[in-house]
Amino acid sequence: MKILKNWVLSQQTQAFVEINVDNQHLFRLYVLENDLFRVLIKRKGKLALDRTWSIAPEAGKDVAWEGRERESTAGFALPGFTLTTLEDGLQVATDKLRVTVHQPLWLSWEYRDQQGVWQPLAADRHTSAYLLNAHGDGVEHYQRRHPQEQYYGLGEKAGDLNRAGRRYEMRNLDAMGYNAQSTDPLYKHVPFTITRRGDVSFGMFYDNLSSTRLDLGNELDNYHVAYRRYSAEAGDLDYYLFLGPRVLDVTKKFVRLTGKTLFGPKWSLGYSGSTMHYTDAPDAQQQLLKFIELCKEHAIPCDSFQLSSGYTSIGNKRYVFNWNYDKVPQPKVLSQSFHDAGLKLAANIKPCLLQDHPMYQQVAEQQLFIRDSEQDAPERSCFWDDEGSHLDFTNPATVKWWQDNVTSQLLEMGIDSTWNDNNEYEVWDGEARCFGFGKPIAIKHIRPVMPLLMMRASMEAQQRFAPEKRPYLISRSGCAGMQRYVQTWSGDNRTNWTTLRYNIRMGVGMSLSGLYNVGHDVGGFSGDKPDAELFVRWVQNGVMHPRFTIHSWNDDHTVNEPWMYPEVTPAIRDAIALRYRLLPYLYTQLWHASQDDEPMLRPTFLDHEHDTLTFQETDDFLLGRDVLVASVVEQGQRQRQVYLPKNASGWYDFYTGTWFSGGQTITLDAPLERLPLLVRAGAMLPTSARLKHVEYQTDDQRDLLLFPPCGKGQDNGLLFEDDVETHGWQQGHALWLRWNITSDNSRIDVTFTQEGDFAPAWKRLHVRLPAQDQRTLYINGEAQSHWDRA
């Protein structure tokens, strides 16, 4: 690696300042927004990869299939800046953020505080801040590290939420049975960090898709001050730095940088059944049909089922788009049976064809695979205990082939959604050639883009097949920007109490990193089956995540099902019923996520940064800003201590209506059949009656559970309703019911206003107060307990 040292000013444009470093490299400092800057280095004046698929700042517009030009500034305000020459450098500034370029090369960043005073924000290491491999690939960047800094983000990572003091790698792997406390790397590539220090936070995103390492305090070197280190094995050094100032602001700005969250159908928030066992069984169709009857028998609401890859098997191996008609003799009959019961189907698909796949030769002849780096042949990689070749989604012909098969083999068979799985693209021939939409690219530059383009191809096939419906897709692997297309989950977790605890932190970490629609394999995917107590606690935790799927491949060939332990089936049923009761709230949170960039899962500090105790590692999290979830993650625990963040109004026990002031630790009873929940005072939770599955025509009851401010206070909220699956909301065919709450010691006033022309099945809202609250309730100025829809 060669250190970048001496520089001279090269040029200034409306968008950037450029310096020439060591008489060969171009170092650009872009000013994209008042609080968003970008650094891009062109090694010897050229880019290793001239496009990106993660950056998508243009509202309502996706990145082109062939990628966004890396040097494009489309979608940014380009507010202009001042350039000042200093004695030993130069300074670039807006009214919120400024950076000083020092000689020899290192940067220092400052932000303007609320008093208008410039304060330190970040700085490169003074000694050797930027390094490039002079004879090939590889880039490095070193920044100063301060002991009081907290680091969050990095997407799907094991261990504690605060990443300080550890080293991480981005190299997408099929990490079957991982340890949720320690395994690294995992499935996703999101080199994005949130740095918090004192009263300010900032985000950094490295837009590089090659294998990457980030060290946040594990590494020490006596020749340098404390530092953090970023390195990538290939590609360009290209990073975005943006000011919060709060952690929540950083997360939302990152989503706006990389693209909006997909607004899926409401049924995607219902319980989704799945197991490897059913489709691996020789009588798969009967096993699947039996699941429908067992849901009815045990009164378990359910909205979908995910077909694991066994439906494509020949022997013990899996062959994408190949129905095993011995196991599933009548796919269309199977699909219709699920539809008649009100359930949707999602089918597992994989982007690698084994070498003995019935269509392998045909696909190879069409040159739809990634190509070997040395031979005129498809690359070969390990895949599912054999070798196979990976499809090249940078080839439009491959995309068409894929979409034709998604349509003919799945959608026309009655399958509703695609489950894009095993798409880590473990192609270790780094120079293997991708078509690159006509400009060949080595796979080492774009491995995480392949699952991104795979899910996009699947999505567009679904959109063409059913254009009136909002698509729902799932993907295990991907990179920043995948939230534009899919719901995701934390992969093939190991069944134990440790996984239950650390999956919570993993999910919240993904949410802080812009992946809002997330969940976990409830009950654990691999290893021993969960015992009854662990299974109950896992389900109780799972129902409070955006994605709720019970999925398993237990070592003893048992199946994680809601009724697997008759003695606790009532507790499982109650937990799932609670989720369905809260679906109006969950659906509204999905709306906020897609439209307002609000995380659904939130660490308690996200809305309470003023309370330093909320930054302690915890098993608690918020669902939306109103519901505090205190999952039980310890065996035998029947009481749960919960720290209540400081706020003006306090918190209520969801079940008893007991009010607690914030800023204290309380102990709640946590019998096996109960998930401890609290609700922020000032919130009003929309709830439904018991449902079998999502269907707006029969969803004819709405209660609003009002947890009012204690004494004098004000608050507001929203309920979003529509036909649950079409695009009608874009033309105003939805209901946005907004409310304002004011209270004092004698009365509570709720004022409703409504927008949109959608008429839900319910005609009246019942507003319910905690039993202990004796104040008079006024609805739109009149003393009453309900509101009639106009």
Q: Per-residue pLDDT tens for 610-649?
A: 999 999 999 999 999 999 999 999 999 999 999 999 998 9
Closest by CA position to 539, among listed 568, 516, 498, 517: 568
> Are 153 and 281 part of one and the same domain?
no
> Are 204 and 238 part of one and the same domain?
yes
> Are 324 and 392 part of one and the same domain?
yes
Give all strands of the β-sheet with 786-788 in edge-to-edge order: 683-688, 702-707, 764-768, 786-788
Could you tell me if residue 128 is left (phi over 0), alpha (psi between -120 and 50 degrees) or otherwise beta? left
Domain boundary residue, one of 648, 680, 712: 680
Residue appearing with tokens 């949720």: 180
What is the structure's pLDDT at 385? 85
27 has which bridge partners? 19, 41
> Are 272 and 372 part of one and the same domain?
yes
> Are 702 and 590 part of one and the same domain?
no
Beta strands in 608-692, from DSSP E residues, in sequence order: 620-623, 627-630, 639-644, 651-653, 659-660, 664-669, 677-680, 683-688
Cα(669)–Cα(261) distance, integer angstroms: 37
Beta strands 651-653; 677-680: pairing state: antiparallel
Number of domains in the chain: 4
> Are 72 and 168 part of one and the same domain?
yes
> Are 252 and 300 part of one and the same domain?
no
Cα(705)–Cα(679) distance, integer angstroms: 10
Which CATH number characterizes residue 124's domain? 2.60.40.1760
Cα(407)–Cα(424) distance, integer angstroms: 23
Q: What DSSP assignment string belongs to 80-129?
A: --EEEEETTEEEEE-SSEEEEEETTTEEEEEEE-TTS-EEEEEEB-SSS-
Q: 651 lies in which domain range?
A: 601-680
Per-residue pLDDT reduced to its tens digit, 327-336 = 999 999 999 9
What is the structure's pLDDT at 592? 98
> Are 490 and 623 part of one and the same domain?
no
What is the structure's pLDDT at 136? 78
Locate 512 and state its tokens: 């802080």
Cα(432)–Cα(434) distance, integer angstroms: 7
Domain boundary residue, one of 543, 571, 596: 596
Which CATH number characterizes residue 749's domain? 2.60.40.1180
What is the structure's pLDDT at 41? 98
> Are 675 and 698 part of one and the same domain?
no
Closest by CA position to 498, among listed 108, 13, 160: 160
> Are 479 and 511 part of one and the same domain?
yes
Domain boundary residue, one of 258, 278, 297: 258
> Are 138 and 161 part of one and the same domain?
yes
* C-alpha torsion angle, residues 609, 205, 617, 157 (rounded to 10): 160
pTM across the whole model:
0.97
What is the structure's pLDDT at 648? 83
Could you tell me if residue 590 is left (phi over 0), alpha (psi between -120 and 50 degrees) or otherwise beta? alpha
Low-confidence ranges of the chain (pLDDT < 50): none
Closest by CA position to 579, among listed 664, 685, 650, 652: 685
Which CATH number characterizes residue 382's domain? 3.20.20.80
Is residue 759 within 8 Å of residue 770, measured between CB atoms?
A: no
Report helix angle 449-465 to 396-405, nearest 10: 50
> Are 299 and 372 part of one and the same domain?
yes
